[in-house]
Amino acid sequence: MTALLTILLSFAGAAVCGLMRPRDHRQIRWVALGTSIAGLAVALFCWQRYEAEGGIADLVDIPWIPEMGVSFLTGYDGISLPLLLVTGLVAVCGVLFTWDLKERANEFYAYFLTLIGGVYGVFLSLDLFLLFVFYEIAVVPKYFLIANWGGERREFAAMKLVLYSFAGSALVLLGLLAVYFAAGVESFSLVDLGHLTERERFTPGFQAIVFPILFVGFAILAGMWPFHTWAPTGHVAAPTAASMLLAGVVMKLGAYGCLRVAVGLLPAGAQVWAPLIAVVAIVNIGYGALVALRQNDFKYVIGYSSVSHMGFVLLGIATLHEVGMTGAVLQMFSHGVIGAVLFAMVGTVIYSRTHSRKLDEFSGLIDRMPGIAWVFVIAGLASMGLPGFSGFISELYVLIGVWKSDYLTGHKGWVLVGAGLGILLTFGYTLVKIHEAFFGVRHPDGNGAPLKPYKPMTTPEIIGCAILLGASLLIGLFPQLLTGVIGPSVEIIINRLSG
């Protein structure tokens, strides 16, 4: 019952914020921050007491629509636990980086916390119908956050994101219904359907047909090429907190569905399509990095880098190996915290001072905002996989998983070469864009005098960066904190593959 508090607290906080007066923005943001901290505290408590044996903890089973076999079934294991943690971290920091928001703050934080509650719901759902409901709940607040508080072309970006999300949802619903009717039992329970998978209730032919429907439906929200275009557009138009959520947790909803539902229930189908998924993942990695290299808008750079990094998640899933899939979950956590801090730096910390995101308009920022510049340099190095940060260990796990995979035989060499080239491109665009933004040409003012320095980071900004970068550093130095709980849960899926 404890984990369920993350959902209840988020929705309760959203209701309280929505009912408060708009002019009480100070009290509203404290309610939002308190709610987010409470959710993170619950997630940390669940992680601290979880026994790493791969089983489901904190099971809650309440009948909902018994005629259809639908129940309010929730719980968590080693796969969902890291995603609960990253949701809590990004939620807290999202409030910190919008600390000065005053425009309709009650509505903003109501949508923000509703989205957080929906995300928690997806990661905790063990009933497919319930999972789909929470999946849809997370879609609606995204639209309003971008359309009402976003930047340029916000209506277009919001509508594009929602249309892509609903298109993916339609495929997911089709796949879920196919699994439900093929199972021959009146149950949407992931636990019950998992037992049927182990008993080979779903034929290999059925799995080969339904698996790509489910996988693509979820992968659209994970930013899979060629259905990725909603992501950079949405990231750029979204306000900072929404960008952090989109990159940090919303894209993980799709990847989680690919692993938990598509691969977990249809392992024979996953074996058929694994080589093609690996191809698409390599395209994601390389294409995202190349396009990021060509961008002049700083936020677009981060947006396309997210597409590239999510390619490693898809590649880890495609290995169908315990090490690779553990790396995929670890990469979800890693990109969640690093992507969030990069969007926070570009969308709030830098933009609020320069009022520009165009790299060719920046002038000697290392001189004008030295503290901010070096924080971004650290975040950029973490993003490109510097040893000591979580990105390095998660990508290493994925690459080792490719090498050990039994389902990419005959393709391992070029997959590893493609991933390696993607990593080199990541080094390239990260260093180039850091140089363009902070160490480029210094332009004095019209009188030849040095340009005035910008104000330093505020206390909420410092705390937000410290939390997110600290989380990446902690897992980078002590990966066993998460791999120890992820591995046993992934092993259950691996056993279905070998069964």
In percent, the amount of the chain with pLDDT more than 90 equals 52
Mean pLDDT of the chain: 89
* Confidence at 470, pLDDT banded by 50, 70, 90: very high
pLDDT over 90 at 355, yes or no: no
Task: Output the six-digit token pair for 138.
Answer: 């997370």
For position 448, what pLDDT does the model report? 52
Predicted TM-score (pTM) of the model is 0.93
Mean pLDDT of the region 395-413 = 88
pLDDT value at residue 197: 67
pLDDT score of 406:
85
Cβ proximity of 75 and 57 under 8 Å = yes
Q: What is the per-residue pLDDT for 499?
A: 60
pLDDT for position 442: 58
* CA dist., res. 240 & res. 314, Å (int): 26
> Which of 51, 50, 30, 53 lies closest to 42 in space, CA to CA?
50
Q: What's phi and psi for 73, nearest 5 deg?
A: -110, 115
234-243, 306-315, 318-327, 436-445: least confidently modelled range: 436-445
411 three-state secondary structure: coil
Q: Round to whole Å and give the CA distance between 349 and 433.
A: 17
Tell me the pLDDT tens digit for each residue of 328-354: 999 999 999 999 999 999 988 888 888
